[in-house]
Structure 1
Amino acid sequence: MPQIRLHLTGTRPRSTTLFSALETAFEDDGLPLALVEIDEAAGTEEISVYAEEDDADAVEARIRAAAGADGPSLAISREALPDIDWVAKSLEGLKPVRAGGFVVHGAHDREELEPGEIAIEIEAGLAFGTGHHGTTAGCLETLARLVPKKKPANALDLGTGSAVLAIAIARLAPIPVLATDIDPVAVAVAAENVALNGVSAHVTTAAADGFDDPVFSDHGPFALIVANILAGPLIGLAPQMRRHLAPAGALVLSGILERQHDAVVEAYAAEGFRRVDTLRREGWVTIHLE
């Protein structure tokens, strides 16, 4: 579906205050936002929010609502973006990412691998999760420490995206791994990446919208669950995570901003979880709970 860039200009400090309000308003939606300086001397900045074409009107209304009293007078422009696979295009210039002994790379960087590294090749596709985001790298580092120590019998990668984390688990231990996502496009990309990395015998991909899907009871309970999504959904899923985690199992959560850390930990503490460790990277946190 074509994307629309909704953008407006403002002057500091009001523009930065508005951008902070928009980050809060859209943090559970996963919509990309950008703040770009236009004129340093004048303090002029441009704010952009990227949305699907069908959602543009609703997103504009939410921008105005977040601006409060200034909302009705905001001059919000729209730019239709070309229908380009931006993930594929961006991967062309990305360098391999190294985290926890893993190296996540594209086909164009196969020759840059070093001896002893655990290579994960991710094809350019429509799914999120190339390893370049701080949350994915944080999960890789946590899994590299946790899996050899805990030796889980099976695992779940919830919200798998590109399947990079499911592949990482299968590379660390030859155990059954279920990789699910609500987006069928992501699942198709995940399946391709699983095959590309030679772990199809261990990783099962499936489209599943919520824990009510029978695929979870068919493959669970899980000794390890990793979920790199968003703080809001993770908080809401806490009771179901407890039901689907095996006794003495481990939980790895990410997609969480540093300021959201305590709220997530508290939600899981209410379900009987204890925090084992927190890894901080690039303003994001990865939390290990048991």
Structure 2
Amino acid sequence: MSWIVSLPCTRPEAEALSGEIPELDALVEAPVVVTREIDEDAGLWQLDAYMDDKPGAALLKLLQSFVPSAKGQTPVVAELPEEDWVTLSQQGLEPVQAGRFFVHTSSYADRVPAGTTPFLIDASQAFGTGGHDTTAGCLAMLDQLARQGASPRNIADIGTGTGLLAFAAMALWPRAKTIASDIDPASIFVTRDNAAINGVPLGRGGGGLGLAVAPGTDHPSIKHRAPYDLVIANILAGPLITLAPDIAAATAPGGHAILAGLIARQMEPVLAAYRAQGFRLAVRGGSAEWPCLLLIKRRRYGWRRKERAFHRASPSDASFGSW
């Protein structure tokens, strides 16, 4: 038998639980935590935690700590029948459409809209099902970049999670060489499985996806392939700032970087770190609370001198900002 623990929560609390949860990662048998909106008109949200064994007092206390708004409320603990509780947990994951992309779980496999590029990404140990604003913002930014005429030949997805953003980039630029990395080995296993499910070829050459377990860009395969025309990093503000020199070193002059995983008040510190490395902000996308930043690495020539273009910028160039 399996068990479910339910608690009411707010939308900000639900969004905060969409990414990595270190307190759960430290557990030997971590529950699967899913948040969902149960009443759109009333703005009511709920946390559901699925696990194999009956939860003890310590786990219940930990789950309650994630939702301060439910302080004083008793968690609802229920025993589930012998069913696939991972599938049950996915019933709260609505499909996401961002740009041309439609990201869904198995529950929605028969409801893919015509004209979209679909990806089947089930809930797993890795972050990045598309449901969070950061991932959806990156998908929309990739789509916008392609519509503006960008054609990167060498792409790196740093902190890939489920592999979704790397898959989306490969759908947009199928001839590009792409590598996806994550510090968590489980994420790379999940990415490999998702690649098979979605028909994404693995390999080192153009049109194939290379995989690497690595902290940031610190892996021989990532360094060997550099510099990149496009670097995607949907992680957290702290690691983004720490990795700014490494991401700058891995990005070709004139190349793009898509950064996400930060909240609005963290945008300026992140931008400051990347401006110091020669990047400029081209587009600020994403949601109000979860920005997605498109940066361009300035071209340089000579000794520490910025390269200035001698031609007039086209209208499409202007849409990416100026400096």
TM-score in same-fold range (> 0.5): yes
Note the C-alpha offset of 1:30.
Answer: 5.8
2:162 matched to which residue of 1? Answer: 162
Q: Distance in 1 between matches of 2:286 and 2:86?
A: 25
Note the C-alpha offset of 1:173.
Answer: 1.1
Note the C-alpha offset of 1:263.
Answer: 0.9
1:194 matched to which residue of 2? Answer: 195
Say whether residues 1:280 and 2:286 are aligned partners: yes
Q: Distance in 2 between matches of 1:86 and 1:280?
A: 32
Match of 1:217 among 189, 213, 223: 223
More off after superposition, 246-255 vs 194-203:
194-203
Say whether residues 1:107 and 2:113 are aligned partners: no
1:182·1:207 contact (CA, 8 Å) conserved in 2?
yes
**Alignment partner of 1:209: what SS?**
coil
Aligned length: 250
- The structure whose RCO (Cα within 8 Å, separation 6+) is larger is 1
| C-alpha spacing 1:287/1:226, structure 2 compared with 1 (3 Å) | same
Note the C-alpha offset of 1:221.
Answer: 1.6
Which one-letter code corresponds to 1:147 in the other structure? A
Which one-letter code corresponds to 1:288 in the other structure? L
1:183 matched to which residue of 2? Answer: 184
Aligned CA-pair RMSD = 4.1
When the two structures are superposed, what TM-score results if normalisation uses the length of structure 1? Answer: 0.71
Note the C-alpha offset of 1:104.
Answer: 0.1
Q: Distance in 2 between matches of 1:28 and 1:207?
A: 17
Q: Distance in 2 between matches of 1:279 and 1:86?
A: 35
After the TM superposition, which parts of structure 1 deviate over 6 Å for at least 4 consecutive aligned residues? none
| C-alpha spacing 1:123/1:29, structure 2 compared with 1 (3 Å) | closer
1:152 matched to which residue of 2? Answer: 152
2:230·2:255 contact (CA, 8 Å) conserved in 1?
yes
Q: Distance in 2 between matches of 1:264 and 1:28?
A: 19
Runs of 5+ in structure 2 lacking a partner?
Answer: 6-11, 24-32, 36-46, 50-57, 66-76, 203-207, 297-323
1:273·1:289 contact (CA, 8 Å) conserved in 2?
yes
Aligned sequence identity (%)? 39
1 or 2, which has the higher helix percentage? 1
When the two structures are superposed, what TM-score results if normalisation uses the length of structure 2? Answer: 0.65
Spell out, residue by residue over 1:172-227, the C-alpha distance to the aligned partner (whole angstroms, 9 max, x if none): 11112111001111110011111211112421222112323212112222110000
Q: Distance in 1 between matches of 2:85 and 2:231?
A: 29
Match of 2:234 among 211, 228, 247: 228
Spell out, residue by residue over 1:2-30, the C-alpha distance to the aligned partner (whole angstroms, 9 max, x if none): xxx9xxxxxxxxxxxxx99xx9xxx9976
